[in-house]
Amino acid sequence: MSNDRVRCVDCHEPIPSDARVCPHCEAVQPSPLVDVAVVVAGVFAFAFGLLLAMLTIGTSRLLGFLLLVVGFGLGVGGYTRHVDRQAGRRAR
Ligand SMILES: [Zn+2]
């Protein structure tokens, strides 16, 4: 990943990749890592749930379907958050 060219979410000035707060407008920078972690966890839950739902029966199959739904929600939720942030960035 290229972390050397990070821009402020607010004023679009280049900032250090490890800066939590923009040195120009003092806007707090959101961590994209959180979104990535949520989406990855969602994908894993989805894949695991799919396996359980397909390969097992009974209670674990129900659990698999539950994981499917939760994983799907996490993945879509994380992606939506990411898209929302991009849209908000463009609207400013
Ligand atoms: Zn800024």
Q: Report the separation in Å between the CA atom of 16 and the middle of ligand 1, taken as the mean of its atom positions.
A: 11
Give the domain extent around 13.
Answer: 1-30
Round to whole Å and give the CA distance between 23 and 66. Answer: 44
Q: Report the separation in Å between the CA atom of 37 and the middle of ligand 1, taken as the mean of its atom positions.
A: 25
Share of the chain residues as helix, strand and coil, in percent rounded to the nearest 5? 60, 5, 30
What confidence score (pLDDT) does residue 92 get? 60
Residues 15 and 49 in one domain: no
Lowest mean pLDDT among 17-21, 25-29, 38-42, 52-56: 17-21
**Three-state DSSP class for residue 64:** helix
Residues 68 and 85 in one domain: yes
| pLDDT, averaged across the chain | 85
What confidence score (pLDDT) does residue 72 get? 94
Residues 47 and 64 in one domain: yes
Round to whole Å and give the CA distance between 26 and 11. Answer: 10
Q: Report the separation in Å between the CA atom of 88 and the middle of ligand 1, taken as the mean of its atom positions.
A: 14
What confidence score (pLDDT) does residue 21 get? 85
Report pTM.
0.61
Q: Report the separation in Å between the CA atom of 20 and the middle of ligand 1, taken as the mean of its atom positions.
A: 11
Residues 46 and 17 in one domain: no
* CB-count burial class (<10 Å; 0-12, 13-18, 19+) for 60: exposed
Q: Report the separation in Å between the CA atom of 12 and the middle of ligand 1, taken as the mean of its atom positions.
A: 6
